[in-house]
Amino acid sequence: MREFYERISVDDALTIILKKAKSLEVELPFDMCQGMVLSEDVISSVYLPPFDRSAMDGYAIRGEKSFGASQANPVRFNIIGESKIGEFPVACVGDRDFEAVRIATGAPLPEGCDAVMMVEYTKETDHKTVEIFSSVTPGKNVSTAGEDVRTGDLILKKGRVLKPHDIGILAAIGISQIKVLKRPDVAIISTGDELIEVGSAPPGKIIDVNSYTISEMTGPVGTPHRKKIVKDDPDKLKGAIKECLSYDLIIVSGGTSVGGKDYLPVVVDEMGDILFHGVSMRPGQPSGFGVIEGTPVFMLPGFPVATMVAFEILVRPFIQKSAGLIVNSPYPRICATLKRKIASEIGRRDFVRIKLEEEEDGTTYVDPITSSGSGIISSMVKSDGFLIVSESMEGIEVGEMVEVNLYQ
Ligand code: AMP
Ligand code: MG
């Protein structure tokens, strides 16, 4: 039986992994970039609004002409035209006469006007005349050109993680292509003679779960590409990996431990370099990492829970860093009291699934799910999150306050 090459700590594994995470700049349509990291400053070459426009429905006038107007003492204006949304106004208001232009919200302010009287304070006596019952100061109810954005303004700074409203402002200033750090393309391969695609499993067969969980976990930070299941056959594994070398990252699950059919580490070793194989963590101990012709390859254990934990701890940080994102846990954390003792081992980091329980007295307890192994996927589904027992602890006693990571 082959031994693990060497079992290293989670932190050492992460150091090795993160050194290999490189980001790549790509130019993409702006509306594909939500959640990605901008790799250039975006500077506006336009004014927003592009022209002075009305903020109200009403009449565009020279504000000073309305001074003194009141309910008892309306001021009459001649209606000389209309400004409609999406059309440039033809009317031009002179400074001597009392002239008004009918105007809609968002329509361009006619030349010569500086304010808009709200329709509520007016009454058209006929189509040619309007009475105004209140006064407006110049500038009132007008959005001036460039009030929002001006030419030369720094709109979005390099390094920003793009949010929905950023995509909106890019649309508003007419920028259709932007430079961002690439979301890594991740090839996902499941391997095992017993595995079959989703459907009903014939006797002795197991439905592939890992390529789905890995895809879903990759989704928010990288672009997953599920590949066909590969048999426990070194040549087939080699062929499948070779086909994926153009991806930014390859994740293979299954066949990583020391059983007779566990060819993955041998294959990776033959095709490239293994940087580690075996991590002092539970579950996920038979995880490994290598590089083949410059492409990083993660080897994850086949047991579904172990795969997910190994992804969480080792792969997500790699993808986050490659995408230019801050490497951090996406989980909210809370502190609560441990309901049952957890046993562990010095030198090993344990990821323990937990359930939260609220007692009648209002205290929240953390109940560790320690009875099921890493093949029991329902243990994950039943859990509310997980807690970490660090390498320096032999376990955690009942009643201690623990910090737990919660699934959202
Ligand atoms: P292995 O790491 O190949 O020794 O697999 C360990 C266990 O995980 C075995 O019981 C496999 O059947 C199971 N397993 C491996 N790969 C998968 C997969 N993609 N989906 C579900 N179970 C798997
Ligand atoms: Mg296997």
Backbone φ, ψ for residue 16 (5° rounding) = -65, -45
Helices (H), 219-293: 234-243, 264-271
- The pLDDT score that the predictor gives to residue 4 is 55
The predicted model scores a pTM of 0.90
Q: How far apart are CA 281 and CA 60, in angstroms?
A: 72
Rounded to the nearest angstrom, the distance between the alpha carbon of 299 and the centre of ligand 1 is 12
> Residue 323 C-alpha to ligand 2 middle, in angstroms?
31
Distance CA 140, CA 103 (A): 14
Q: How far is CA 334 from CA 86, 132, 276, in A?
A: 53, 61, 33
Ligand 2 centre to CA of 299 (Å) is: 12
**Closest C-alpha residue for ligand 1 atom 15:** 302
Rounded to the nearest whole angstrom, what is the distance from the C-alpha of residue 220 to the centroid of ligand 2?
A: 28
Give distance in angstroms: CA of 3 to centre of ligand 1. 19
Q: Report CA(356)–ligand 2 centroid distance (Å).
A: 33
Decide whether any atom of ligand 1 lies within 6 Å of the 304 Cβ. Answer: yes
Inter-residue contact 11 to 310 (CB < 8 Å): no
Separation of alpha carbons 252 and 310, rounded Å: 12
Cα–Cα distance, 244 to 188 (Å, whole number):
9
The residue ranges of the chain whose pLDDT is under 70 are 1-5
Concatenating the DSSP letter of every residue in 329-342 gives: --S-EEEEEESS-E
Atom of ligand 1 at shortest range from CA of 208: 20
Strand order in the sheet with 249-253: 223-226, 185-190, 249-253, 295-300, 288-292, 273-277
Query: Closest ligand to 233 CA?
Result: 2
Indicate whether residue 374 lines ligand 1 (CB < 6 A). no
* Angstrom distance (rounded) from CA 312 to CA 325: 15
Nearest to 399, CA basis, from 353, 350, 359: 359
Ligand 2 centroid from CA 281, angstroms: 20
Distance 152 CA to ligand 1 centre (A): 56
**What is the C-alpha radius of gyration for the chain, rounded to an integer number of angstroms?**
32
The DSSP H or E segment spanning 181 is strand 177-181
The answer to whether the CB of 111 falls within 8 A of the CB of 89 is yes
Ligand whose nearest atom lies closest to the CA of 300: 1
Question: How many residues appear in the chain?
Answer: 408
Count CB-CB contacts under 10 A for residue 260: 8
Place of tokens 């490497």: 327
The residue nearest atom 2 of ligand 1, judged by CA position, is 302
The pLDDT assigned to 259 comes to: 78
Residue 205, token pair as written in the block: 């067969």
Q: How far is the CA of 302 from the centre of ligand 1 (A)?
A: 4
**CB-count burial class (<10 Å; 0-12, 13-18, 19+) for 238:** middle
Give the pLDDT of residue 1: 38
Q: Which atom of ligand 1 is nearest to the CA of 209?
A: 20
Instruction: Work out which ligand 1 atom sits closest to the CA atom of 286.
Output: 2
**Ligand 1 pocket: which of 207, 231, 253 to mutate (most atoms within 8 A of CB):** 253
Cα 69–chain centre separation: 55
339 CA → ligand 1 middle, Å: 31
**Which ligand sits closest to the CA of 254?**
1
Tens of pLDDT, residue by residue over 65-111, are: 999 999 999 999 999 999 999 998 777 888 778 999 999 999 999 99
Please report the pLDDT score of residue 5 as a whole number: 63
Instruction: Please indicate whether residue 194, judged by its CB atom, sits closer than 6 Å to ligand 1.
Output: yes
Site to probe by mutation for ligand 1, drawn from 1, 4, 195 as the one with most ligand atoms within 8 Å of Cβ, is: 195
- pLDDT of amino acid 200: 82
Q: Is 385 in the pocket of ligand 1 (CB under 6 A)?
A: no
d(CA 392, CA 359): 30
CB atoms within 10 A of CB 406: 14
What is the identity of the amino acid at 85?
Answer: I
Name the residue of 2, 193, 206 to mutate for ligand 1: max ligand atoms within 8 A of Cβ: 206
Candidate of 287, 303, 311, 376 to mutate for ligand 1, largest count of ligand atoms within 8 Å of Cβ: 303
Residue with tokens 């500086």: 114
- Closest by CA to 325, choosing from 178, 156, 181, 163, is 181
pLDDT for 342-362, tens place per residue? 999 999 999 999 999 998 888
Tokens encoding 17: 């992994």
